[in-house]
Structure 1
Amino acid sequence: MSRRIMHIDLDAFFAAVEQRDHPEWRGRPLVVGAAPGQRGVVATCSYEARRYGVHSAMPISEAARRLPADTVFVRPRMTHYAAVSQRIMAALNTISPVVEPVSIDEAYLDVSGLERLVGPPEMIGQRAKQVIADAVGLTASVGIGPNRLIAKLASEYRKPDGLMVVPPARVQTFLDPMPLTALRGIGGKAASVLHDLGLRTVKDVRLADATQLIQHLGARAARRFQDQACGTASDALHTDTVRKSISKETTFAEDITDPVILRDTLLWAAQEIGHTARQAGLKGSTVTLKLRFRGFKTHTRQRTLPVPTADDDVLYRHAWALYQAGDWAARPVRLIGLGLAGWDATVPAQTDLFAEAEPAPATGREPLYATLDRISDRFGRGAVHWGVRRKP
């Protein structure tokens, strides 16, 4: 029996959360990002703003020029969005035991065999949309197909608030008319090469001469693109049943250069990792920063700490230091993530790893974190969290 993979994609997630929390903002253009008059870009925006041609990664100055006077501009609240995301993922676990979150607003589910319990795929998709609406009051677009690629493309097909099921027998009919850029991993350079060869659609890539593709793209890329064009992709989901590390990452809708958004995202990731580590009684000594740039070029940087930690602030400050040391300030970031590993569950209280840079005496923050964690466990993640000190 063919596998059935479902992809869930929250609609304009950050903006939708803000409109849910502030009913007076519903129906109005809303931008999450920098404020007008400040340097920065759009992190995401509501569908009302998109009608004016505004999109993620657009400079705020350009967005403000296009949008009407009643537009709402808000700063990202990454920790709050993460708390909402956790409730969504918990709700999805009531549908399938195999849930792979891939970012703060996306997840894959293996729904193979659920027809006997729930009904046909369309009914499974409707149930997923309903549990999300019941849990957090938001809409999501859902795609179901025989593998990850088809499920992802299906969820994008009818956004927002869409549902698309692609049975195995209709995969090629679904794929063939799409522009070749729908295939994963085709960046601007590869697309230009394929266009120069006269290829425009997925069908063109599927039927193209393999030797010619290899000559212009290399064997590996040529094979990967033609496999995708034939609907061949992985149906494996990864749920991290054996925890070798704790990591959090998010993929931006468009490339981001705004350092404030990057810092806020790393702070969110550090707080999520720190909380998870403390709940498991773990402290780690290896901090890993992950960045993905245009063209899917991925870089990682690691730092080994002299004393293992589960301190949110220490994790964040090391992550930001790794970013700054990489001289990436001008490069648009597609994905940013943070990881912690190198466990030591029996170390003494955390000392101040930044004593040389900031000579204030180490005090140990375990009691503070215990209080913060109790508040989070009672009132939900995001009820209280660290902030980033801004320069005046």
Structure 2
Amino acid sequence: MSRLILHIDLDAFYAAVEQRDHPEWRGRPVVVGAEPGQRGVVATCSYEARRFGVHSTMPIAQAVRRLPPETVYVRPSMARYAKVSQQVMGVLETVSPVVERVSIDEAYLDVSGLTSLVGPPAVIGAQVKERIRHAVGLTASVGIGPNRLIAKLASDAQKPDGLTVVPPEQIGGFLAPMPFTVLRGIGVKTAPRLERLGVKTIGDVRQLPLETLRHHLGARTGTQVYQQARGLADDRIDPDRPRRSISREMTFPEDVSDPRMLEKTLRWAAQEVGSIARQTQHLGRVVTLKIRFHPFETHTRSRTLEVPTADDVALFGAAWSLFAAEPWSGRPVRLIGLGISGWSATDGGVQRDLFETAAPEPCPEHDRLAATLDAIRNRFGADDIQRGLNRRSPGSGSARRRSRYSHRT
């Protein structure tokens, strides 16, 4: 008997949260990411914006040229999105005990044993969608199949608000018309090799012998593509697969040399990362600084802390010391940011070396301040309050009361 894997994907998640929290934005194009005039990109956008050909990772300048004047541009509020994501994951755990979160807006569930309790796969999928809608007021697309690959492709098949079930006997017909590029392992180097063989669809891939695929793609990738084209893929769900890191970065509209602006930007990034880490109950030991110079010269530097933390001040201090230790002073910076990783458990403290230098004891007042700032950001938005900063977004070209605004030509 085959497994039954469900993939859940929240529709245009960041934009959907913004439209939910701002009813006046519903029905209008909403872009979450960089603001007009900045050098950044679109993080995500509403389906109203996608109708104009806008998509994630598109440069914001290109998106602005395509979108109408009533478009709303919003800076991401990651702590708020993380809170909604946690609510959704809690809902999923009421459906199945085997849930693997793979990103802030998607997860896999093993629902193999639910058919005798709940009903056929379509009923299970409809129940998941309804519970999410009731809990957080958002729509989600669900795909159900015998493995992760089929479930993921099924959830993409009818977005938004879709539900697609692919039984084992229908896998061939489901996959055949799809472009071969949806298969895992097909990249910018691999795709042209298949195109030269006249391949356009997964059905075309199935016509190629294994030896041919291994010859043109290499043994590992060729075998993987051969199996996927036949619907063969991993059906394991790992609830304990951890989130590897949390990071935040800023691409400046113009290269920045002013150390005060860079310091402010790192403080902002530390607050964002710290807030998300606290919301998701992560403590990390490794702080990583990322910096990019013109045109794409990128460097990363990391430091391992003695004690794991999610504290804004500690994160900033480690990142700024990494910056100060390098001969970068005065060089124009295009992008700067920081991340945290190297998780430790948050619920039982950390066993430390008896001869280790004592770390500062936790400060209750400091913890209460962080909790208060998190609560304010969650309610009013991440840009409404900053620790030791004015309300101007780092890297912005002009002072603004909030980062949300409608762009009008």
- Are the counterparts in 2 of residues 273 and 312 from structure 1 also a CA contact under 8 Å? no
Distance 1:308 1:15, change over 3 A: closer
**Distance in 1 (alpha carbons) for counterparts of 2:368 and 2:236:** 37
Q: Which region of structure 1 is more displaced relative to structure 2, 97-106 or 312-321?
A: 312-321
Query: What is the aligned-residue identity percentage?
Result: 53
**Distance in 1 (alpha carbons) for counterparts of 2:373 and 2:386:** 16
**Distance in 2 (alpha carbons) for counterparts of 1:218 and 1:308:** 42
Report the 3-state secondary structure (helix = DSSP H, G, I; strand = E; otherwise coil) of the residue aligned with 2:178.
coil
What residue in structure 2 maps to residue 271 of structure 1?
275
- Amino acid across the alignment from 1:127: Q
What residue in structure 2 maps to residue 236 of structure 1?
236
Task: Detail structure 1 runs of 4+ shifted over 6 Å in the superposition.
Answer: 262-266, 319-325
Please report how far the alpha carbon of residue 191 of structure 1 lies from its aligned counterpart in structure 2 after TM superposition.
0.6
What residue in structure 2 maps to residue 339 of structure 1?
341
Please report how far the alpha carbon of residue 36 of structure 1 lies from its aligned counterpart in structure 2 after TM superposition.
1.7
- Amino acid across the alignment from 2:64: A
What residue in structure 2 maps to residue 106 of structure 1?
106
What residue in structure 2 maps to residue 358 of structure 1?
none
Within a 5 Å distance, the mapping from 1:90-169 to structure 2 comes to 90-169=90-169
Aligned length: 353
Distance 1:34 1:310, change over 3 A: closer
Distance 1:2 1:276, change over 3 A: same
User: Considering only CA atoms, is the larger Rg found in Structure 1 or Structure 2?
Assistant: 2
**Distance in 1 (alpha carbons) for counterparts of 2:167 and 2:339:** 34
- How does the TM-score come out when normalised to structure 1? 0.78
Distance 1:372 1:305, change over 3 A: closer
- Amino acid across the alignment from 1:345: V
- Are the counterparts in 2 of residues 15 and 44 from structure 1 also a CA contact under 8 Å? yes
Please report how far the alpha carbon of residue 313 of structure 1 lies from its aligned counterpart in structure 2 after TM superposition.
4.1
Please report how far the alpha carbon of residue 82 of structure 1 lies from its aligned counterpart in structure 2 after TM superposition.
0.6
Which has the higher relative contact order, 1 or 2, with Cα contacts under 8 A spaced 6 or more apart?
Answer: 2
- The CA RMSD measured in Å over matched residues stands at 3.8
Distance 1:275 1:268, change over 3 A: same
**Distance in 2 (alpha carbons) for counterparts of 1:219 and 1:51:** 40
**Distance in 1 (alpha carbons) for counterparts of 2:289 and 2:114:** 38
Report the 3-state secondary structure (helix = DSSP H, G, I; strand = E; otherwise coil) of the residue aligned with 2:32.
strand
Please report how far the alpha carbon of residue 315 of structure 1 lies from its aligned counterpart in structure 2 after TM superposition.
3.6
Report the 3-state secondary structure (helix = DSSP H, G, I; strand = E; otherwise coil) of the residue aligned with 2:95.
coil
- Are the counterparts in 1 of residues 13 and 105 from structure 2 also a CA contact under 8 Å? yes
Matched, 1:382 2:378: yes
- Amino acid across the alignment from 2:126: Q
What residue in structure 2 maps to residue 29 of structure 1?
29
Please report how far the alpha carbon of residue 20 of structure 1 lies from its aligned counterpart in structure 2 after TM superposition.
0.5
Report the 3-state secondary structure (helix = DSSP H, G, I; strand = E; otherwise coil) of the residue aligned with 2:38.
coil
Question: For 1:317-366, what per-residue CA distance to the aligned partner results, in whole angstroms no more than 9, with x for missing partners?
Answer: 657988999x9x989xxxx9742336762565549xxxxxxxxxxxx655
Structure 2 gaps of 5+ residues are 254-264, 291-298, 353-357, 397-409
- Are the counterparts in 2 of residues 19 and 26 from structure 1 also a CA contact under 8 Å? yes
What residue in structure 2 maps to residue 314 of structure 1?
314
Please report how far the alpha carbon of residue 212 of structure 1 lies from its aligned counterpart in structure 2 after TM superposition.
2.1
Question: For 1:301-326, what per-residue CA distance to the aligned partner results, in whole angstroms no more than 9, with x for missing partners?
Answer: 7532245434244346657988999x
Please report how far the alpha carbon of residue 178 of structure 1 lies from its aligned counterpart in structure 2 after TM superposition.
0.9
What residue in structure 2 maps to residue 295 of structure 1?
none
Distance 1:309 1:63, change over 3 A: closer
- Are the counterparts in 2 of residues 141 and 161 from structure 1 also a CA contact under 8 Å? yes
Matched, 1:195 2:195: yes
Distance 1:33 1:48, change over 3 A: same
- How does the TM-score come out when normalised to structure 2? 0.75
Q: Which region of structure 1 is more displaced relative to structure 2, 336-345 or 10-19?
A: 336-345
**Distance in 2 (alpha carbons) for counterparts of 1:171 and 1:311:** 48
Please report how far the alpha carbon of residue 217 of structure 1 lies from its aligned counterpart in structure 2 after TM superposition.
1.3
Within a 5 Å distance, the mapping from 1:220-235 to structure 2 comes to 220-235=220-235
Structure 1 gaps of 5+ residues are 251-255, 291-298, 352-363
What residue in structure 2 maps to residue 355 of structure 1?
none
Q: Which region of structure 1 is more displaced relative to structure 2, 136-145 or 31-40?
A: 31-40
Report the 3-state secondary structure (helix = DSSP H, G, I; strand = E; otherwise coil) of the residue aligned with 1:55.
coil
Distance 1:380 1:10, change over 3 A: farther
Distance 1:186 1:316, change over 3 A: farther
**Distance in 2 (alpha carbons) for counterparts of 1:90 and 1:110:** 15
Please report how far the alpha carbon of residue 144 of structure 1 lies from its aligned counterpart in structure 2 after TM superposition.
0.3
What residue in structure 2 maps to residue 293 of structure 1?
none
- Are the counterparts in 1 of residues 285 and 341 from structure 2 also a CA contact under 8 Å? no
Q: Which region of structure 1 is more displaced relative to structure 2, 300-309 or 181-190?
A: 300-309
Matched, 1:179 2:175: no
- Are the counterparts in 2 of residues 103 and 249 from structure 1 also a CA contact under 8 Å? no
- Amino acid across the alignment from 1:130: E
Please report how far the alpha carbon of residue 370 of structure 1 lies from its aligned counterpart in structure 2 after TM superposition.
4.2
Report the 3-state secondary structure (helix = DSSP H, G, I; strand = E; otherwise coil) of the residue aligned with 1:188.
coil
- Amino acid across the alignment from 1:188: V
